[in-house]
Amino acid sequence: MPQVRCLDAAGNMLGVISTQDALRMAQEQQLDLVEISPNADPPVCRIMDFGKFRYQESLKDKEARRHQHRQVVKEMKFHANVGEHDFQTKLAHIKDFLTKGHKVKVSLVFRGRENVHREIGFEVVNRVIKECEGVCTVDMTPRMMGRMLIAMLGGKAPKA
C-alpha cells in the first residue's frame, strides 16, 4: 500500500500521504502508526501510542463485563409423593426466585415403582406451573428425560 489516509494523534485529518511519510511522522513524535480501517480505499491509519490505546480498550472491556447480568438458573426438586406443606414451601421459594429474575428448573425424579404412575408426576409439575402463572412464563413445557420430569420457568419481563 503506497498511500494511506492519515490522522494525527489529536484526530485531525492529515490527508492522503505516502506510507513512508506517515511512518516517519509517527517516529518523529515517538508514536506508532496504526491501521484503523484496512478495507477502505486508501486504508486509514492513525498516529497514536498503541500501548496506551490497548490499555484503554482493556479498561472499556472490563467496564462492559462489570455491567453484564449473568442469568442464574435455580433448581427445585420434587418427588411424586410430595407432601402439601413441602409443596407450598418449595412453591414459595420458586416464586421468590422468579421475582428476583432467576430462571427456575423444576425437576421431579421418579424412584422405583413411581415410574409406573408418571401421570402423578405430571400433575405435580403442572400444578407448580399453574400456581406460578402470575409471576412466570413457561420456557420449557414438562418433558421426560430418563427418570426425570423437567420443566423450565422464567420470570415475566417487567412492564415498561
Task: Give CATH 3.10.20.80 domain extents, the chain.
Answer: 3-66
CA distances (Å), 17 to each of 24, 29, 34, 35, 51, in order?
A: 11, 17, 14, 14, 24
Backbone phi, psi, residue 62, to 5°: -60, -40
Residue 125: band (very low, low, confident or very high) from pLDDT cuts 50, 70, 90:
very high
Residue 132 CA to residue 90 CA, distance in Å, equals 11
Q: Please state which CATH number belongs to domain 3-66.
A: 3.10.20.80
Which pLDDT value is given to residue 142? 92
Which pLDDT value is given to residue 10? 86
Task: Give CATH 3.30.110.10 domain extents, the chain.
Answer: 73-155
Amino acid residing at 82: V
Residue 46: band (very low, low, confident or very high) from pLDDT cuts 50, 70, 90:
very high
Nearest to 140 by CA among 148, 59, 61: 148
Best CATH choice for the domain 73-155 from the list 3.30.930.10, 3.30.110.10, 3.30.450.370, 1.10.10.10: 3.30.110.10
Angle subtended by helix axes 84-99 and 118-131, to nearest 10: 50
Residue 160: band (very low, low, confident or very high) from pLDDT cuts 50, 70, 90:
very low
